[in-house]
């Protein structure tokens, strides 16, 4: 027993190393699982609040750009207003429209922490479960897809960015409706993505728009980017193409979290089908 | 004693802040990302007992992880760094040869020793960090170039910091 104690104290560095390394790797491996998330991230109160304060200062410095983008969006929305359209029919009847039912609602949020220079990038926003955000919701910005909500605390949420090595989004070419999968390119360029596993019969052209398709958790037709290179270095056996992302992740300021009102119903039905089989 | 504690506490806070709020936004050509927060573990006094050194390294890594949304990643790399530090110091430094120079700084140990020390520790830390982050052999080329460029960047920053707080050895 005494010898054992002497042995342990003599090589204490090594044993301590083993213990702490094991703890660290345990935390690391567990967190990477999408299902299980821990509290050591920017959705906890301390780091979340620190980032919010820093972001307040940053926002002030970026006011001009934000104003420009908001003005642009205002103009776009104004164009769609009924009052900006010229009415050329004489009489109009009011119809209570029961054909359409709202499926998607949007929650607006501000980005308070963001990164683009790592292999796994996350975004923190200033709205959380109190505002109705839950895990698994899609997030878009002015120009296109941003990511998926990974975890929501009462006041903050962490989003797994499109710029993450594990993010995959079901996408298609807008013109030909050919489907494929979308992921971030491996060379860590924050402006490029990769559309892969497109059927060989598809005939993509440079500049084609890539949008989300009906299998993704986003509404159909949210833009991802435009095809910029038909012969990328990496990819599988099917057609692959490089996509220039439509969202500039390094300048992300405001995002919209998508709440799909029918998501629960769909998942419930699919789960029921699974148990029936 | 209390002066050393205080200095290290300030160093911890300052390094975490600089890393989380300034250097997090810095990248050169999508390749080089500096992580000079490891300076905290490297500059702990020589006499720091292992039972204190490893928890401190773990805590430092975990604090960075909290800001970087990568729980465990930096903690694992920094604990490995502490292990390499123990080995390196036990090989290169005789415990009896100094009596009033308790910290492995640039001023007290000389440029050659400090450069080797920081270079080896940074290379080990960054190699482990980048490979654990990607965890894929297929991207080896990018990972290796990122690791090398980032290491050069980090070492440069640490040497500059060392010169900035340079204090000559008392004769």
**Residue A254 pairs with which residues in a beta bridge?**
A110
Task: Please report the ipTM that was assigned to this predicted complex.
Answer: 0.75
Residue A201 · residue A173 · CB < 8 Å: no
d(CA A245, CA A144): 8
Cβ distance of A20 and B30 shorter than 8 Å: no
B-interface mutation test, from A15, A26, A40, most B Cβ less than 10 A away: A40
Residue with tokens 């909500």: A149
Angle at A162 between CA A159 and CA A166, to 5 degrees: 90
Cβ distance of A165 and B82 shorter than 8 Å: no
Residue B19 · residue B36 · CB < 8 Å: yes
How many residue pairs from chains A and B have C-beta atoms closer than 8 A? 107
Nearest in space to B118 (alpha carbons), one of B158, B77, B148 = B158
pLDDT for A35 equals 42
Residue with tokens 């054992």: A4
Q: Which two tokens stand for residue A104?
A: 């998607």
pLDDT for A12 equals 80
pLDDT for A36 equals 46
Mean pLDDT per 10-residue section of chain B, whose length is 171 residues = 84 90 81 88 84 89 85 88 88 66 75 88 91 76 86 90 74 45
Q: Which two tokens stand for residue A138?
A: 């899609």
B24/chain A closest Cα distance in angstroms: 7
Q: From B134, which residue of chain A is nearest by alpha-carbon distance? A: A119
What residues of chain B, 28 to 87, have a C-beta less than 8 Å from chain A?
Answer: 30, 33, 50-51, 53-55, 57-58, 61-62, 65-73, 75-76, 79-80, 82-83, 86-87
**Phi, psi torsion values for A192, nearest 5 degrees:** -125, 145
Residue with tokens 């839950």: A134
Q: Which two tokens stand for residue A111?
A: 């980005």
d(CA B12, CA A19): 23
Query: Measuring CA to CA, how many Å separate A5 from each of A12, A174, B51?
Result: 10, 69, 15
d(CA A186, CA A269): 36
The answer, as to whether pTM is greater than 0.90, is no
Read off the DSSP letter of residue B37.
G
Task: Show the domains of chain A with their CATH numbers.
Answer: 45-74+100-165+255-259 (2.40.10.340), 169-248 (2.40.10.350)
Residue B128 · residue B77 · CB < 8 Å: yes
A260 touches chain B (CB under 8 A): no
Nearest in space to B63 (alpha carbons), one of B78, B49, B45 = B78
Cβ distance of A17 and B79 shorter than 8 Å: yes
d(CA B35, CA A234): 29
- SS3 of residue A123 by DSSP: strand
Cβ distance of A54 and B21 shorter than 8 Å: yes
Mean pLDDT per 10-residue section of chain A, whose length is 277 residues = 79 84 82 54 70 80 81 75 56 56 79 83 87 86 86 87 86 85 82 84 84 83 85 69 87 84 79 79
């Amino acid at each position: 027993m005494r010898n054992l104690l002497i042995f342990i104290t003599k090589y204490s560095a090594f044993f301590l190393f083993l213990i702490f390394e094991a703890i660290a790797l345990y935390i690391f491996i567990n967190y990477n699982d999408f299902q299980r998330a821990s509290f050591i991230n920017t959705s906890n109160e301390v780091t979340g609040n620190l980032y919010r304060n820093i972001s307040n200062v940053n926002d002030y410095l970026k006011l001009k750009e934000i104003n420009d983008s908001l003005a642009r969006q205002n103009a776009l929305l104004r164009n769609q207003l009924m009052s900006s359209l010229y009415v050329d029919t004489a009489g109009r009847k009011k119809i209570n429209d029961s054909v359409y039912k709202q499926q998607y609602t949007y929650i607006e949020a501000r980005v308070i922490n963001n990164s683009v220079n790592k292999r796994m990038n996350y975004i923190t926003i200033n709205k959380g479960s109190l505002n109705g955000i839950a895990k698994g919701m899609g997030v878009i910005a002015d120009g296109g897809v941003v990511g998926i909500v990974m975890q929501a605390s009462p006041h903050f949420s962490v989003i797994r960015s499109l710029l993450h090595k594990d993010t995959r989004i079901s996408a298609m070419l807008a013109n030909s409706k050919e489907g494929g999968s979308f992921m971030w390119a491996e060379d860590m360029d924050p402006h490029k993505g990769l559309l892969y596993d497109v059927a060989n019969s598809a005939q993509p052209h440079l500049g084609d728009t890539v949008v989300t398709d009906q299998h993704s958790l986003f509404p159909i037709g949210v833009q991802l980017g435009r095809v910029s290179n038909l012969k990328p270095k990496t990819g599988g056996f099917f057609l692959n193409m490089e996509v220039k992302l439509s969202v500039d992740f390094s300048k992300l300021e405001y995002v919209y979290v998508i709440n799909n009102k029918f998501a629960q119903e769909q998942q419930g039905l699919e789960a029921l089908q699974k148990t029936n089989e | 004693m209390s002066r050393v504690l205080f200095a290290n506490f300030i160093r911890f806070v300052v390094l975490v802040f600089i890393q989380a709020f300034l250097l997090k936004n810095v990248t050169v050509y999508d390749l080089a990302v500096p992580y000079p927060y490891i300076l905290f573990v490297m500059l702990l006094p020589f006499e720091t007992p292992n039972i204190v050194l490893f928890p401190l390294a773990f805590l430092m890594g975990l604090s960075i992880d909290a800001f970087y949304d990568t729980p465990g990643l930096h903690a694992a790399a920094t604990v490995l760094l502490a292990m390499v530090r123990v080995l390196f110091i036990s090989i290169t430094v005789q415990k009896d040869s100094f009596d009033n120079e308790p910290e492995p700084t640039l001023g007290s140990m000389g440029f050659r020793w400090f450069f080797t020390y920081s270079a080896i520790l940074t290379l080990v830390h960054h190699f482990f960090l980048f490979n654990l982050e990607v965890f894929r052999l297929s991207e080896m080329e990018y990972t290796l170039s990122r690791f090398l460029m980032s290491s050069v960047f980090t070492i440069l920053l640490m040497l500059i910091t060392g010169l900035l707080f340079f204090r000559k050895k008392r004769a």
